[in-house]
Structure 1
Amino acid sequence: MLGLKDPEHGDWSRVHGPQYALLHHRASARAVLNLAGTALMAISFGGSLPGFLIAAWSIGLVAITAYMFRLENSFASLDVRGFSRAEQRRHMLAAVAKGVLWAVPGTFFLRYVDPTIHGVAWAYVAALMLGSTVSRYSAPLGALGFTGIAGLGWTVGLAMHGSFALAIIAVLSTAFTTLGAIESAKGAYSERLARLGMAEKSQVVSLLLREYEDSAADWLFQLDAGRRLQKVSPRLAFALGRELGDIEGKSFLELISGPAWETGHFPQSLHDLANKFKERENFSNMTVEVSINGERRWWELSGTPMTDEKGNYTGYRGVGSDVTAQRESSERIAYLARYDTLTALPNRLMLHETLAEALAYAEKWRSRCAFLMLDLDRFKAVNDSLGHMIGDQMLAEVATRLGSIMTENEICGRLGGDEFGIVIRDASDRKRIERVARAVIESLSAPYHIENHILYVGASVGSAIGPRDGRTVEELMRNADLSLYRAKDLGGGEHCSYEPSLHASAEERRQLEFALRSALAKNELLLNYQPVVDANSERIVSFEALVRWVSEEHGFVSPGKFIPLAEDTRLIVPIGKWVMQQACAEAARNWPEHVKVNVNVSPEQLIEPDFVATVVQALSRSGLAPKRLEIEVTESIFMRDADVAGRALEQCMALGCSVALDDFGTGYSSLGYLRKLKFSTIKVDRTFVQGASQKSAESVAIIRAVVAMADSLGMSTTAEGVETADEAEMIRNMGCTKIQGFHFGRPMSAGDAMALFRAADRRRIA
């Protein structure tokens, strides 16, 4: 406070310099009072004291008064140049010297004058002390030095010369003036610290505001009571795309509304902002859609109303920033979260949300909604044969066709891959579901023209009605999937509605799958063998190995059930490996050298990297000659990865194995397949044999064409499904080289197959 040491907060010069700078304001008054007091004392004591003493004292007091006057006037520039401790010491010493000079009359001169003058003289000195305390409150060290020494000198002098009452008064006056100087100094010191703190905070705020105003996207705004811009900053003018002079005093809402100001069709966010201004409410981080030079932008605004010292509303002050990039980024993220990037259709998440809303509405109003799940037929063949780029273009075309079918009552989305879903919000009309499903199948079955390719794929549709077929999204989607699975089982291009029996079928399928996974370990699988005979001699030339499953839990399971299940779950790979090993072992161990074994191979097995190794292992372990193994495949191998399957079969043929094309004529029957691989045998499907036996001209023509083609390519033909002697004779006359069917033997155990060979041996001996 006194300036003897550095303050706890702030610089010493900044704290005390401005205080001492105040001394120059009353320096003249103090000088006049001191000179007047000098004259008064000289007159009062002049007749009683030697003249040289009065003269010396007066000269000394005038000199010190002049020095202090000059010194205090020099303090006027302290706010600019700074304040030093040396200047403080000079001022304090000058004040002490002046106090000593004013103490001299009270200590030494009172003995020479009449006691009646004591009171008058003291009164003037007391007035000087009080004046010093009041006028030098900002320089407490000098005030204390002057009042303390002057008061002490007069107290001692009055007591020494018998004026005890005045001495007591002098003591009290000195004490009170000293305390007053201290209290005044405290107040001045505290006030100065507070002002410095406020000034520092103001500087920091100003600096921050300047930095904020200079930032790339943020700016300040100030409005008057009429919502007109005031004190427009360059940054705000830039954000508005205007010149400073063009927008000062203009309506803020008009500037950011764009054409909407004339039409009156404002975005809701602008309505909300206007309401905040109208109600004079604070708002923070409020996102507002604005129009700047015809371009839609998004601003984030915060503002607070302003009032004057009387509490009257004067306008708004706030801060804003352009968040268009962030907004667009957020919108893009929200779009990607709910829309499929390839087809631009809603994705699984959005379909899930839409179906949930439709179910909730149906529950509330006792109505119906529906969910249709659709899957493209033969799409995988397009992907595998022409590549994923063509497949993606086809999916985009599918999305376009589906979009053209939808109305406001339906929403279509992509679930993933080639699966799509349709939510029918109001399905009170059951016929509407069927109409949508049929329109989808018809539209998606039309040919696709993509990069000089004409492609055909169909669609299968499964539907479920909510809340009848499911009260949750998961249940409804699952039941629609079960319906779709049923439609695919029917051959595709169909629409199936959900029935409770489908759930039972799905549960049975699940249980079968669980049991099938342990069938090999439990030795529940076995092989049957169906003979294939020479068409002319009717001698057995081979057996087709057929896997059968007798489950401990489910009993005998039809191959029509568990083979597709094994292929779907890829259990066909370990099962097929076991069949290959068992069939080769049986043929090598018990059959004549000229009899082959035919083993059916699934496309799932052919695309396995170690398929050829599996064949080699089965042949080496059994000792079977490769020429006695014939691998049977269907046209479906070309629907998967045709190149991988082809290379695997070529490697098997290089080992000496032969390859038969099974069920020829029931699929695409493309002659290109016969060019890709050197098949040894073409098997004519049983449907054509049965048709030919019923005098179907088409079936007869197909069989004759296949036989002729096989003969020209050096291939043998096997007719399947021959059940009577007449059918066998018919097939023989058509030129087929081999026959297979119930007429020559049903699928039988290995022991029964052995019995056929023994019976043939007995006939030959007889």
Structure 2
Amino acid sequence: MQDRALVRLFTNLCGLTFLVIALRAHIASPVLYGWAGATVLLNIHIAAARWRVREWKSNSATRAELHRETLNSVLVGGMWAIPTLFLAPGTPPATVFAIWTILAALMTGSAFMLTALPLATMIFLGISGLAMILMTHFAGLALIAGTSFIFCALLLTTSLISGRRFVETLVSELALAEKKEVVSLLLREFEDSGADWLWQTDAARCLTHVSPRFATALELTLADLDGKPLLQVLAGDTWQAGNFASGLRDLAEKLKRRESFSNLILPVKINGVTRWWELSASPRTDERGTFLGFRGVGSDVTEQRDSADKINRLARYDTLTGLPNRMLINETLVRAMDEADRWNRHCAFMMIDLDRFKAVNDTLGHPTGDKLLTVVAGRLRALMTENELCGRIGGDEFAVVIRDGGDLARLEALAGEIIAELSRPYEVDQHTLYIGASVGTAIGPKDGRTAEMLIRSADLALYRSKDAGGGAHHCYEPQLHADAEERRTLEIWLRTALEKGELHLAYQPVVMANDTRVVGFEALLRWTHPEKGVIPPYKFIPVAEEARLITPIGEWVLRTACMEAANWPADVRIAVNVSPEQLNDPNFVTSVVSALAHSGLSPSRLELEVTESVFLREGTRAIAVLDQILGLGIKLALDDFGTGYSSLGYLRKTQFSTIKVDRSFVQGAAKKSAESLAIIRAVVAMADSLGMTTTAEGAETEDEFQLIRELGCTKVQGYLFGRPMPAEDARELIATASRRRSAA
């Protein structure tokens, strides 16, 4: 209201002048001029105060300023009402009408000039109007008094309505201004952030407006872009050739159909460098619905896409070898099976497991093992064609997906190449390493309708290759699934067999070759199932080892055998077979000491039998455990010597007391096999030179026994001297032999 301060002052002074002229004959001069002077000073003070804050805007008034304006209206209204109080009852109507006219003019002007202050205006109108009504009433002008009342009511109503509209308009303007300011700030921040740009096209899909950052991203100027088709700008060098990327074709379809789109990714080549852009836009129309073009935003997402590609690669590729990992192998196999089903052909899946790799890790450490795996991966990758994809699925296991696997001869040849290539020597960290590979193959969809089933079938075929000794390839057969189901069932039964007392020990005698004197027994584990009857050891022992049940079963065997042997004469030993899995148990030595302590058996009467596989599977750990066993005074026997690798290094590293010759050599020697005879003689000569005894297994006839004795074996074990028998029969056999010796 400060811009109207001078106008209001001038109006008030004019009205004051007219009023003084009209009242000078009816009011005493001192009173009249005193009032006039006070009114002039009040109006000058108010005008001066408003002029000093003339920069003040009505939309930023404080509560105190509003209160001050209201107080000013009360004072001004009161001052204008004072003259009417001094009028005599007989004042001429012309004078009254003159005063009424001046007040009406001031009230009307205030009603329109003070719209921004509804409360102040209504107070001024109320005071002035009341004075006007009273003045005309006491002057005997009833009609004019009534008219004054109506006039004041109209002014008050008009002032109220105008004030309300003014406030509503002001509020709307403030809200709109605030929104414009927010939008302006957002757009400014949007542009300044450097992340996105604005663009706009006309109905012909030509650019009509782009932000400077859009042009900068294209390494062009705004003038270069103005009026050019959006698709041509984005296509770049490919516009003439028409060899567009799929993302650009999608954009063209969206623009053609005038559809909104968001987060559309497409490649944009800028000066030979491919960048990835993300565009979003909506169609524009006028109030009549006429299509005007598109308005949208864009951003460069090359870095985000590169990061996503890197994350995707990390998720699908093995970090050590660079080969596809299990996830990508599974995805590729699913696609291969879908294509095989669609085109009525076959695909194949190979599982590859490295033989003797664990020995490398145990002896040379995991860093060397990791380097070996990278070399293995390189050799596998070199064997692949476009038809195959190889990958690492974990540990020392690899896999190959063959998209077209209908040629069985090709599958056999590929498996043979893999085994041969992976079995060649490796030079790693100045070490020459020898490992091998076992392969299992399954063909889809006949060996599995889904990827999971096909992998399971290949795994069963690989299990058969490993079970056959490694370095072999087998294809899946339905019988493998039956065997796997049988192993699963055996595992379930075996978990409760020990608790139910279904396991028992049988004892087979060992005699001296020179006089057939019983010097010991070998404790052999047997299982009699209540429904299936006797289950042979060659079936349930491997299951127990795979299921990690051999450790508790082995502890039970050791305790039971020691308790039984404690009842025998002091010169009769007990031999117990030990699984490689038991030697891997950190509590194995403790369990041996506990069995000896509870039974009271002398350590020298206990002999533990191990095979060469413990050295291949456990490396130096097996030697450390066996050294602790020897330190307790327990004897060690090397079982099935000659059937495996038969490394003399085992005999040098561990002090075995006995070497057991496998029954296959005994039977071969009985048939006059030169190889078997030579092996037995060599083993006997070596054992004698190392101070060990030899035990020949499998003597079933007198002729075999005589041959064993002639070849120089120290002890004999076989059906000729007794089959595995219950503990009671073993005790009876010992007692009978003792009586015979006493009689002799």
- TM category (shorter chain) comes to 0.7 to 0.9
Residue 76 (1) aligns with residue 54 (2): yes
> By how many angstroms is 1:78 displaced?
1.9
Measured after TM superposition, the shift of residue 154 of structure 1 is: 4.6
Instruction: Determine the C-alpha separation between the residues in 2 that align with 1:349 and 1:736.
Output: 57
- In structure 2, the residue matched to 1:23 is 4
Which range moves more in the overlay, 302-311 or 565-574?
302-311
User: Could you tell me which residue of structure 1 aligns to residue 69 of structure 2?
Assistant: 88
Q: Secondary structure at the match of 2:168?
A: helix
1:473 aligns with 2:451: yes
Equivalence for 2:660? 683
In structure 1, what is the Cα distance between the partners aligned to 2:333 and 2:365?
Answer: 34
**In the alignment, which residue of structure 2 is the partner of 1:560?**
538
- In the superposition, relative to structure 1, how do residues 562 and 150 fare at CA in structure 2: closer, same or farther (>3 Å)? closer
1: CA distance between counterparts of 2:189 and 2:162?
Answer: 40
Please name the residue that 1:9 is paired with: none
Aligned partners of 1:568, 1:67: CA distance in 2, in Å? 106
Deviation at 1:637, TM superposition (A): 1.2
CA contact (8 A) 2:201 2:230 kept: no
Cα deviation for residue 638 of structure 1 reads 0.5
Kept in 2: contact 1:598–1:629 (CA 8 A): yes
Is residue 227 from structure 1 mapped to residue 204 from structure 2 by the alignment? no
> Which of 35, 52, 63 pairs up with 2:14?
35
Q: Which amino acid aligns with 1:608?
A: D
Amino acid at match of 1:603: P
Q: Distance in 2 between matches of 1:660 and 1:673?
A: 12
Instruction: Give the direction of change, closer, same or farther, for the CA distance of 1:709–1:192 in structure 2 (3 Å limit).
Output: same
The one-letter code sitting in structure 1 at the alignment partner of 2:162 is S
Q: Distance in 2 between matches of 1:85 and 1:481?
A: 89
Query: Hey, what does 1:578 align to over in structure 2?
Result: 556
Shift of 1:666: 1.8
Distance 2:245 2:513 in 1: 85
Give the alignment partner of residue 739 of structure 1, picking from 716, 722, 733.
716
Give matches, 1:201-350, under 5 Å.
201-206=179-184, 218=195, 221=198, 223=200, 226-227=206-207, 230=210, 232=212, 240=217, 247-249=221-223, 251=225, 261-264=236-239, 268-269=246-247, 284=262, 327-350=305-328
Secondary structure of 2:698's aligned partner:
coil
- In the other structure, the counterpart of 1:15 is none
Change in Cα spacing, 1:483 to 1:57, as seen in structure 2 (3 Å) is same
Trace 1:688-727 onto structure 2 (pairs within 5 A): 688-727=665-704
Q: 2-side partners of 1:451 and 1:120: how far apart?
A: 121
Report the CA distance between 1:680 and its aligned residue.
Answer: 1.6
TM-score, reference length from structure 2 = 0.82
CA deviation profile, 1:436-473 (whole Å, cap 9, x unmatched): 43333333333333222232333223333333333333
The correspondence of residues 613-632 of structure 1 with structure 2, limited to 5 A, is 613-632=590-609
Selected match of 1:642 from 596, 609, 619: 619
| Secondary structure of the structure 2 residue equivalent to 1:547 | strand
My pick for the range that moved more, 171-180 or 363-372, is 363-372
Say which of 583, 595, 600 aligns to 2:577: 600
* Alpha-carbon displacement from aligned partner over 1:38-96 (angstroms, at most 9, x marks no partner): 56995x899x8799799959976888777776666556322399673575257425642
2: distance between equivalents of 1:155 and 1:582? 128
1:635 is displaced (CA, Å) by: 0.7
Alignment correspondent of 1:380: 358
Under a length normalisation based on structure 1, what TM-score does the superposition of the two structures give? 0.80
Please give the alpha-carbon distance, in whole angstroms, between the structure 2 residues aligned to 1:680 and 1:448.
36
What SS does the corresponding residue of 2:353 show, helix, strand or coil? strand
The aligned length equals: 732
Q: For residue 54 of structure 2, what is the amino acid of its counterpart?
A: A
**Equivalence for 1:16:** none
1:402 counterpart letter in structure 2: L
Q: How much does 1:373 deviate? A: 2.6
| Structure 2 residue 170 is the aligned partner of structure 1 residue 192 | yes
The answer to whether the 8 A contact 2:254-2:261 is kept is yes
Query: Residue 415 of structure 1 corresponds to which residue in structure 2?
Result: 393
**1:518 has 2:496 as partner:** yes
Report SS of the residue matched to 2:497: coil
Q: Look up the SS of the partner of 1:589 in the other structure.
A: coil
- CA shift, 1:636, in A, is 0.9
2:461 equivalent to 1:486: no
* Deviation, structure 1 residue 485: 2.1
Tell me how far apart the structure 2 counterparts of residues 66 and 655 of structure 1 sit (CA, whole Å).
121
Map 1:166-185 onto structure 2 (within 5 A).
166-185=144-163
Give the equivalent residue in structure 2 for 1:500.
478
- Gaps of at least 5 residues in structure 1 are 1-19
Cα offsets for 1:340-384 (capped at 9, x unmatched)? 333333333343344344444445554433333332222223233
Deviations 1:374-417 (A, max 9, x none): 32222223233332223222333333333333344433333332
Aligned partner of residue 78 in structure 1, secondary structure: coil
- SS of 1:176's equivalent in the other structure is helix
How far apart are the structure 2 equivalents of 1:547 and 1:66? 123
Counterpart-to-counterpart distance in 2, 1:176 and 1:755: 137
Deviations along 1:547-603, one digit per CA (max 9) or x if unpaired, are 232322222222222222222223322333333334344444244x43333222211
Write the distance in 2 (CA, Å) between the matches of 1:50 and 1:583. 142
Q: Deviations over 1:252-289 (max 9, x none)?
A: 99999999622456655566567667777655555565
Quick one: distance in 1 between partners of 2:85 and 2:257? 74
Q: Name the structure 1 match of 2:650.
A: 673
> CA 1:68–1:738 in 2, change beyond 3 Å: closer, same or farther?
closer
Counterpart residue number, 1:137: 115
Distance 2:422 2:368 in 1: 16
Root-mean-square deviation over aligned CA pairs: 4.5
Identity across matched positions, percent: 48
User: Counterpart of 1:92 in structure 2: which amino acid?
Assistant: S
> What amino acid maps onto 1:629 in structure 2?
L
The answer on whether the counterparts of 1:103 and 1:152 sit within 8 Å (CA) in structure 2 is no
1:90-145: CA deviations, max 9, x gaps?
A: 7425642674488699x6699447x6x98788667645543432233234456445
The one-letter amino acid paired with 1:195 is E
SS at match of 1:556: strand
One-letter identity of the residue aligned with 1:486? R
**Do the aligned partners of 1:218 and 1:319 also contact (CA within 8 Å) in 2?**
no
Q: 1:410 to 1:102 in 2, by over 3 A?
A: farther
Alpha-carbon distance change, 631 to 102 in structure 1, aligned in 2, over 3 angstroms: same
The CA deviation at 1:674 is 1.4
8 Å CA contact 2:267, 2:276 repeated in 1: yes
Secondary structure in structure 2 of the residue aligned to 1:351: helix
Decide whether the 8 Å contact of 2:207 with 2:229 is kept in 1: no
Contact between 1:717 and 1:737, CA under 8 Å: does it hold in 2?
yes
Inter-partner Cα distance in structure 2 for 1:588 and 1:189? 111
Q: CA separation of 1:740/1:69 partners in 2, compared to 1, >3 Å: closer, same or farther? A: closer
1:351-366 alignment to 2 at 5 Å? Answer: 351-363=329-341, 366=344
SS at match of 1:96: helix
> Secondary structure in 1 aligned to 2:713?
coil
